Amino acid sequence: MFTKRLLSGIILVLIALAVVIKGGSILFFVTGILSLAGLFEFYRVLGIHKNVLGAMGYLLAAVYYGLLWFDGKQHIEFVIIAAVFLFMTMYVVTFPTYKTDQVTGAFFGVFYVAVMLSYLYQTRMMEDGMYAVWLVFISSWGCDTFAYCSGMLLGKHKMAPVLSPKKSIEGAVGGTLGAIILGGVYGLAFGGNMTEMEAPVLICAAACGAAAVISQIGDLAASAVKRNHNVKDYGNLIPGHGGILDRFDSMLFTAPAIFFILTFLSY
């Protein structure tokens, strides 16, 4: 199990490196595919992955990415209004076929998965995106690694005993501090290439620290959904890691967090 997880993790990192470095249409296409796959996993947990609500969700996610590709004005606002209109219309027309929680879950899934993950691509497309985008991975996967290590070594106080018994406050603090350190080191190493940042070391460290806190909320949120629906993993697409949402759950939060933190602090 460990060997399988390690090998698939290495392959995943190599693929991520290649795709993110290339950027452009390749990253856009991969992000869109991951979003649809993740949305399918989320809908499957809710039990709506094969009905008309799921189909509408996939369509809206595709429309959102289409508008994003063509840089459509107010594309998020359009998708929000369209989603509310379409889902509520279906709710009324088919009443009482679908329950309120199914309709709201279908609406929520589009933004929780597709829209939030799209900020990986949007961060890559920023002025310093070739370098700034890696802060998404540092604050997500870096925080996970440091949180695991510090939790194993120092963990005594449970952070969320019911939701995630293995996570500790010490691990959360260690993960956040580790992300700050990694962000600062990254800023020190590549800050000279980030022309839009006046203080790249400070900004990278602060961005990674804030995003690391947010990433842990994202991880726990994904766990909460699984526990509420009595599933262990969202899928088995990635050997040893589970599904797309099992591996990218925290990145759903760090991608938009890094994008907006850098927008407010640097641009």
Please answer whether residues 83 and 223 qualify as being in contact, where contact means their C-beta atoms are separated by less than 8 angstroms.
Answer: no
CA distance 104 to 108: 6
Per-residue confidence (pLDDT) for residue 266, from 0 to 100: 64
Specify the amino acid at residue 168: S
- The tokens for 256 are 């938009």
Q: CA-CA distance, 249 to 252, in Å (whole number)?
A: 5
Tell me the C-alpha distance between 32 and 170, whole Å.
36
> CA–CA separation, 78 vs 256, rounded Å?
19
Q: Is the pLDDT of residue 93 over 90?
A: yes
Closest among 182, 113, 112 to 149, alpha carbons compared: 182
pLDDT in tens, 214-258: 999 999 998 899 989 888 888 776 665 678 898 888 999 999 999
**pTM here?**
0.91
Residue 9 has pLDDT above 70, yes or no: no
Q: Are strands 158-160 and 164-168 parallel, antiparallel or unpaired?
A: antiparallel
Residue 162's pLDDT is 81
Work out the number of other CB atoms within 10 angstroms of the CB of residue 261: 21
Chain-wide mean pLDDT for the chain? 89
pLDDT in tens, 39-83: 999 999 999 999 999 999 999 999 999 999 987 555 788 888 999
CA 113 to CA 107: how far, in whole Å?
11
Reported as a single tens digit per residue, the pLDDT across 143-152 is 988 898 998 8
Confidence band for 29, pLDDT divided at 50, 70 and 90? very high
Buried b (16+ CB within 10 A) or exposed e, 158-171: ebbeeebeebbebb
11 pLDDT above the threshold of 90: no
DSSP helix/strand/coil, 159: strand
SS3 241: coil
pLDDT at 5: 61
**Residue 10: pLDDT band by 50, 70, 90 thresholds?**
confident
- Please say whether the beta carbons of 245 and 234 come within 8 A: yes
